[in-house]
Amino acid sequence: MRRLMIAGNWKMNAASDTTAAWLDAVVAVNAPERDLVVCPPFPYLGQVVAGLEQSQLQVGAQNCASEDGGAYTGEVSVAMLADVGCQYVIVGHSERRALYAESNELVLAKTRRVLTAGLKAIVCVGETLSERQAGHAEQVVGQQLSLLLSELNTTEWQAVIIAYEPVWAIGTGETATPEQAQAVHHFIRSQLAARDVGLAEATQILYGGSVKADNARELFSQPDIDGGLVGGASLDADQFLKICTA
């Protein structure tokens, strides 16, 4: 039985005082049957790790370098993330793919770094509005998954979470209907099943795209949706807690 996971992605939003207030509000969350994760910006990782030391919540990073270390000014290695207490790393978010031209090959390289460090990778896939309107959603998502499926072994897959995020529903207030989301989640699981049925049954697949407290329950009730990668709503502690217990 797959556990439900809720992961909050703060993106480039935080300050020390607002982070402290958020931590005070969520530290006592009690949802033992669920995996709860928060991914703040790099400068606040240490603060969040310390603030959640006695909490159920775990901590993830929003990105990582594809290299182990060296002369890569401005980059952050997975070894550094593990050293400060991260357990998860988001890889291949649509904003990284679109704004920083991250390719499927780079996403694979970063995923491998994450797994080699003993962390878990939340790997994002998803189509743009034009790709969906052209009827290419499954083709795009399939291509984004293909390298991962061909290159990662079954043991590595045990530390991979897939997050389906329709790009047209991120930060727009638009949300895929539960039926639309379920259809793509089912497609993703069928791609995993073509590789290994056990792998497909075990892999958590999250939905990301304007998840809020008022739509979380219906989304999470779909058979192939195992939780959410939550953006803006995760910045509001009350909203995040409601989603975590939806």
Q: What is the pLDDT of residues 223-245, one digit of tens each?
A: 999 999 999 999 999 999 999 99
- CB-side exposure of 17: number of CA atoms within 13 Å? 0
The CATH number of the domain holding residue 232 is: 3.20.20.70
Annotated catalytic, 136? no
What pLDDT was estimated at residue 70? 97
Catalytic residue selected from 102, 127, 131, 165: 165
What pLDDT was estimated at residue 21? 98
Structure tokens that stand for 31 in this block: 């949802």
Any known ligand binding at 135?
A: no
Note the pTM of the prediction, 2 decimals. Answer: 0.97
Catalytic residue selected from 93, 95, 131, 185: 93
Domain coverage including residue 202: 4-244
Report CA Rg, the chain.
17
What pLDDT was estimated at residue 210? 86
Q: How many domains does the chain have?
A: 1
Helices (H), the chain: 16-26, 45-51, 78-84, 94-99, 104-116, 129-133, 137-151, 154-157, 178-195, 197-202, 213-220, 237-244
What pLDDT was estimated at residue 113? 98
What pLDDT was estimated at residue 172? 72
Annotated catalytic, 93? yes
Tell me if residue 26 falls in helix, strand or coil. Answer: helix
Beta-carbon count within 10 A of 217 CB: 13
Which residues in the chain land under pLDDT 50?
none
> How does the average pLDDT of the chain come out, rounded?
96
